[in-house]
């Protein structure tokens, strides 16, 4: 088994248990922390390609093509040359910017050569992708300041010390007019006019500079100059990256592959991309408490996409927890707390993540179930029935005894005993499912110091809770 396979196996064992447990979540975050730096060089070409593809919207021309390129490079005794272009246009960095860095980290840990192209020339043109107007040009001082900030903030997700930094002014400043004209003469105008934003601006009579029009060609020259095997970028950069393939073909090189990354939806759940202008972002410079709280505010439907985008979780692991949400053996709130912990741990460490988790729980969770007046009630007469039957009728939780056993096996079934403000949780075993609830409660009370008259007992399955009362 590969090192990644062993890590996934350990994590799956944790993910099938009670994810409301602080101890278990801490172990899960620690496993994730190890995986962020895990050596992936023992993966074969197919496994590498599939791992990269699992976090992309599209790989062009195909995932199989990526596997073949990896295998071919290996037979030549060289790593892939993996390109990511950075136009340092802003000092504001958020979690959306971390997405390509995670994939770059995977390539790096597989043993491939990552080249970060700093667009100090193209930044002065301005990437027109998705814009309704041209973008103000940046000065050299703006670029230097923004680059330093970007590198510092994104460093938790990527080892910059092992990357190759290249400023595209190194070669673009030396490109002579005949060379540029020779390339432009073989690039159909229709390639640029495929851009919906260009067509819209032209139809509306808005500005479109010649510099913007040739932006993708100039950026594509970067790929040719470093002889890139694959380029990463947001899906909004797809046409720019495809231009890289075209220019490499024109210059007699083997066209690069393209990995288009998803654009991350903002925290407000409106469907708009995460951005500072929308106020729906999580800054990488935010405090652990702020990161945790903002993740907890997102709609439940964003939890799985965020896990995929920001963490090293595999599709199999995400599939396990989403299935548990569907069969009600895992509460969405518990999974969201895990996601929040993952985000904080990546930026600030596991210890800070657990502290933020504890702070959130103390601030927003009820201290006792006894304070909740709307819980369903199980009478002692009804409690003469088996635990499984009580679950099915009172909590409307499980359709069968086998389903109740599964909840117990995953450590999601327990009695909660509250005495004088103190709360003790007693996990129930699979065999307890077929015992009467009264018998199980009596055993739990006799095993601890619960002699006080103000003892309250609750049955908890996943996140559903019922009060057990004498009638």
> Where is pLDDT greater, at 428 or 410?
428
Q: What is the pLDDT of residue 248?
A: 95
The runs of H, that is alpha helices, within 302-400 are 303-310, 315-326, 332-348, 350-364, 387-394
Residues 180 and 215 in one domain: yes
Q: What is the pLDDT of residue 379?
A: 82
Which region among 108-112, 246-250, 312-316, 421-425 has the lowest average model confidence (pLDDT)?
Answer: 421-425
> Where is pLDDT greater, at 208 or 460?
460
Residues 213 and 136 in one domain: yes
User: Cα separations (Å) of 139 from 86, 144, 317?
Assistant: 15, 9, 45
Which region among 6-15, 93-102, 142-151, 227-236 has the lowest average model confidence (pLDDT)?
Answer: 142-151
Quote the distance between the C-alpha of residue 205 and its chain's center: 40
β-strands 413-419, 257-261 pairing: unpaired
Could you read off the pLDDT of 26-53 as tens digits, one per residue?
A: 999 999 999 999 999 999 999 999 999 9
Name the phi and psi angles at 305, rounded to 5.
-60, -35
Can you name the residues that pair with 59 across neighbouring β-strands? 259
Q: Quick check: 398 pLDDT over 60?
A: no
Q: What is the pLDDT of residue 5?
A: 96
Query: Distance between CA 329 and CA 463 in Å, rounded?
Result: 8
Residues 360 and 375 in one domain: no
> Is 51 within the bounds of a domain?
no
Q: What is the pLDDT of residue 130?
A: 47
In total, the chain counts a number of residues equal to: 471
Residues 170 and 234 in one domain: yes
* Average pLDDT of the segment spanning 272-300: 88
Query: Distance between CA 99 and CA 104 in Å, rounded?
Result: 9
Q: Could you tell me the strand order of the sheet in which 113-118 lies?
A: 58-60, 257-261, 230-234, 81-86, 113-118, 164-167
Residues 112 and 243 in one domain: yes
> Which of 365, 380, 405 marks a domain boundary?
365
β-strands 377-379, 230-234 pairing: unpaired
Burial category of 156 from C-beta neighbours within 10 Å (exposed 0-12, middle 13-18, buried 19 and up):
middle
Residues 386 and 431 in one domain: yes
Q: What is the SS3 string spanning 252-321?
A: CCCCCEEEEECCCECCCCCCCECCCCCCCCCECCCCHHHHHHHHHCCCHHHHHHHHHHHCCCCHHHHHHH
* Mean pLDDT estimate for the chain: 86
3-state secondary structure of 127: coil
* Average pLDDT of the segment spanning 337-352: 96
The runs of H, that is alpha helices, within 78-214 are 98-110, 122-125, 140-154, 169-172, 177-184, 189-193, 196-203, 210-213
- Measure the CA angle with vertex 446, ends 440 and 449; round to 5°: 130
Omega of the bond leading into 61 within 30 degrees of 0 (cis): yes
Residues 250 and 118 in one domain: yes
Q: Quick check: 430 pLDDT over 60?
A: yes
Of the pLDDT bands very low, low, confident and very high (cuts 50, 70, 90), residue 131 is: very low
Q: What is the pLDDT of residue 364?
A: 67
Residues 66 and 209 in one domain: yes
Q: What is the DSSP letter of 95?
A: G
Residues 288 and 248 in one domain: no
Which region among 104-118, 294-308, 375-389, 451-465 has the lowest average model confidence (pLDDT)?
Answer: 451-465
Q: Which structural domain range is residue 450 located in?
A: 371-469
Domain at 196, CATH number = 3.40.50.620
Residue 210: closest CA among 236, 218, 183? 218
Q: What is the pLDDT of residue 40?
A: 98
Residues 119 and 142 in one domain: yes
> Which of 330, 365, 400 marks a domain boundary?
365
* Average pLDDT of the segment spanning 189-210: 73
Contact yes or no for 393/414 (Cβ under 8 A) = no
> Is 293 within the bounds of a domain?
yes
Based on the structure, what is the number of domains in the chain? Answer: 3
Residues 90 and 163 in one domain: yes
Could you read off the pLDDT of 63-113 as tens digits, one per residue?
A: 999 999 999 999 999 999 999 988 666 667 888 888 899 999 999 999 999
Q: What is the pLDDT of residue 37?
A: 95
């Amino acid at each position: 088994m590969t090192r990644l396979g062993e890590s996934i196996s350990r994590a799956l064992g944790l993910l099938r248990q009670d994810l409301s447990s602080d101890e278990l979540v801490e172990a899960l975050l620690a496993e994730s922390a190890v995986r962020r730096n895990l050596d992936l060089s023992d993966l074969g070409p197919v496994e590498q390609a599939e791992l990269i593809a699992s976090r992309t919207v599209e790989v062009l021309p195909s995932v199989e093509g990526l596997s073949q390129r990896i295998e071919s490079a290996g037979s030549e005794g060289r790593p892939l040359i993996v390109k990511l272009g950075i136009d340092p246009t802003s000092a504001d960095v958020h979690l959306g910017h971390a997405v390509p860095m995670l994939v770059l980290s995977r390539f790096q840990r597989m043993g491939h050569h990552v080249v970060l192209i700093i667009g100090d020339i193209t930044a002065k043109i301005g990437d027109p992708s998705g814009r309704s107007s041209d973008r103000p040009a940046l000065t050299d001082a703006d670029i230097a300041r923004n680059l330093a900030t970007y590198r510092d903030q994104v460093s938790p997700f990527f080892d910059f010390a092992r990357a190759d930094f290249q400023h595209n002014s190194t070669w673009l400043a030396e490109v002579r007019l005949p060379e540029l004209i020779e390339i432009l003469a073989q690039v159909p105008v229709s390639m640029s006019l495929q851009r919906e934003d260009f067509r819209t601006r032209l139809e509306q009579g808005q500005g479109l500079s010649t510099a913007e029009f040739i932006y993708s060609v100039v950026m594509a020259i970067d790929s040719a100059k470093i002889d890139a095997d694959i380029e990463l970028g947001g899906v909004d950069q797809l046409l720019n990256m495809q231009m890289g393939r075209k220019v490499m073909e024109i210059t007699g090189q083997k066209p690069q592959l393209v990995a288009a990354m998803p654009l991350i939806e903002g925290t407000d759940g409106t469907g708009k991309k995460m951005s500072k202008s929308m106020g729906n972002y999580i800054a990488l410079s935010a405090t652990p408490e702020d990161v945790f709280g903002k993740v907890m505010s997102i709609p439940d439907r964003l939890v799985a996409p965020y896990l995929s985008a920001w963490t090293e979780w595999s599709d199999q692991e995400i599939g396990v927890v989403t299935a548990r949400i569907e069969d009600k053996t895992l509460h969405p709130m518990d999974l969201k707390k895990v996601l929040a912990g993952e985000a904080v741990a990546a930026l600030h460490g596991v210890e800070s993540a657990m502290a933020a988790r504890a702070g959130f729980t103390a601030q927003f969770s009820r201290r006792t179930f006894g304070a909740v007046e709307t819980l369903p009630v199980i009478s002692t007469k009804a409690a003469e029935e088996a635990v499984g039957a009580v679950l099915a009728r009172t909590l409307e939780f499980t359709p069968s005894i086998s389903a109740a056993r599964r909840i117990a096996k995953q450590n999601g079934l327990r009695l909660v005993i509250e005495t004088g403000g103190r709360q003790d949780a007693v996990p129930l075993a699979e065999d307890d499912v077929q015992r009467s609830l009264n018998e199980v409660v009596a055993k739990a009370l006799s095993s601890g110091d619960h002699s006080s008259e103000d003892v309250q007992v609750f049955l908890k399955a996943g996140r559903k809770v019922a009060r057990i009362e004498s009638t």
